[in-house]
Amino acid sequence: MALLDRPVRRLLLARRKVPSHPVHQLADDALIAAGTQRKCYRHPADARLCIMVPRDPDNRAMQGANLVEWFMLGMLDWRGISTQHRITSRGWAATEQGPGLVLERVTNEDGRPALRLDDFIRQKQPSREQLEAMYEELKQWLFANKVPVNDLFCSNLLVRQTQTGAHLVLVDGLCGERFRFKLLVYGILPDFTFWRARRRWLVVEDKFRRDMEQYLPAQSKQSDDVMSSDPLATE
């Protein structure tokens, strides 16, 4: 299925409309965070948005992450999936680092930037029970809406704090960086794509729990191990 990569990539590149003006300057001090593939900057003209650009503008895999995310978020919009635990895309913008994907920036109810899950754990020191409830809420939403997830890492999750509590928001990890078959058919066969992702769920979940464990205080690790119980067992 890797054969699909190139033609689909070409098709999406042809459909991608990048306005030639304005060309945004992405200043170093506007950098929000860098992932493995992309860098995330504050939008110079709108504080409610951010712009994702590949870490290396000439690297195909890094460009692919933006294309896949654009495609998948468009598909979720098309399917009418709620934005409770996800972001929305606002299309493309020209930047001096090449085309960037404009995304809604995740904020708390008071408008302040949301923390990433690892920072939230370090700074707010939530209990394992609270983290478990946040994870369960996200999982219910993913499963109810058949949203296929490739990776669930702390760096792909932001925490939106509201009066009703803290809620996880997925900012990355939908189907990876490549145009696999399961991704291509997601619009017409969401059940198939979700079924593929669901088969890997225990692996995704296990990796997520291990990732989160690094940020939990040592004392909490020894205590009653709520986060390592298997919530699927109750389904």
Output phi, psi for 158, to 5 deg.
-110, 160
x/- map, 35-64, Mg ion, by CB under 5 A: x-----------------------------
Question: Which residues face 42 on adjacent strands?
Answer: 50
Instruction: Decide: is 36 part of the binding site for ligand ADP (CB under 6 A).
Output: yes
Stretch that binds ligand ADP, among 91-99, 101-109, 193-201, 211-219 (CB under 6 A): 101-109
The entry of ligand ADP, Mg ion, none that residue 128 binds, CB within 5 to 8 Å by partner kind: none
Classify burial at 66, counting beta carbons within 10 Å of its beta carbon; exposed 0-12, middle 13-18, buried 19 or more: buried
Helix (H) or strand (E) holding 105: none
Binds Mg ion by CB under 5 A, chosen from 41, 69, 159, 172: 172
The entry of Mg ion, ligand ADP, none that residue 32 binds, CB within 5 to 8 Å by partner kind: ligand ADP
Give the distance, in angstroms, between the CA of residue 89 and the centroid of all CA atoms in the same chain.
Answer: 11
Instruction: Decide: is 115 part of the binding site for ligand ADP (CB under 6 A).
Output: no
Binds ligand ADP by CB under 6 A, chosen from 12, 32, 184, 226: 32
Instruction: Decide: is 30 part of the binding site for ligand ADP (CB under 6 A).
Output: no
Instruction: Decide: is 4 part of the binding site for ligand ADP (CB under 6 A).
Output: no
Q: How many beta carbons lie within 10 A of that of residue 82, not counting itself?
A: 10
Question: Which residues face 100 on adjacent strands?
Answer: 93
- Which pairing describes strands 89-95 and 23-24: parallel, antiparallel, or unpaired? parallel
Q: What angle do CA 220, 35, 166 make, to 5 degrees?
A: 45
Residues that bind ligand ADP (CB under 6 A): 32-33, 35-38, 40, 50, 65, 87, 103-106, 116, 155-156, 158, 171-172
Residues that bind Mg ion (CB under 5 A): 35, 156, 172
